[in-house]
């Protein structure tokens, strides 16, 4: 996102089947988690949630490492709702949903299956 403007959009390259396309999106939330078995600066995962121009949600996940010889991995997927993301990827940090819901003007409530 550019500065603190909540309405700003980012233009980022999104690789797709050997083609480069441009996504016009705005960042809703970003959270970094760290591998608890290691020091905080050795391995981690960056979760970033964007909203597309058409209102879809794009979850971008980057698992990174600073270990020599290891490679990080990144992927992204489009969703229609926050609950759809949570259902498919329950390990995504709750903080990401809270921040995104606030920017979307939604209340985020997590229901426990008890």
What is the pLDDT at residue 7? 45
Positions in the chain whose pLDDT score sits under 70: 1-23, 37-40, 108-114
Pairing of strands 19-34, 43-52: antiparallel
CA 30 to chain centre: 6
Domain count of the fold of the chain? 1
Cβ atoms < 10 Å from Cβ of 97: 22
| Residue pair 100/28 in contact by the 8 Å Cβ criterion | yes
Assign residue 88 the CATH number of its domain.
3.10.450
Residue 41 sits in which domain range?
26-104
Q: Which of these, 5, 3, 79, lies nearest to 47 by C-alpha position?
A: 79
Give the tens place of pLDDT for each residue, 64-75. Answer: 998 889 899 999
| Edge-to-edge strands, sheet with 10-16 | 10-16, 19-34, 43-52, 57-65, 73-79
């Amino acid at each position: 996102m550019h500065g603190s403007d909540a309405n700003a959009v980012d233009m980022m390259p999104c690789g797709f089947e050997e083609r480069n396309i441009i996504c016009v999106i705005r960042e809703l939330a970003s959270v970094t988690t760290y591998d608890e078995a290691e020091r905080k600066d050795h391995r981690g995962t960056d979760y970033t949630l964007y909203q597309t121009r058409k209102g879809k949600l794009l979850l971008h996940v980057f698992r990174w490492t600073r270990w020599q010889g290891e490679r990080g991995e990144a992927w992204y997927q489009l969703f229609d709702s926050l609950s759809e993301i949570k259902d498919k990827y329950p390990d995504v940090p709750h903080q990401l949903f809270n921040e995104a819901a606030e920017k979307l003007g939604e209340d985020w409530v997590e229901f426990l299956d008890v």
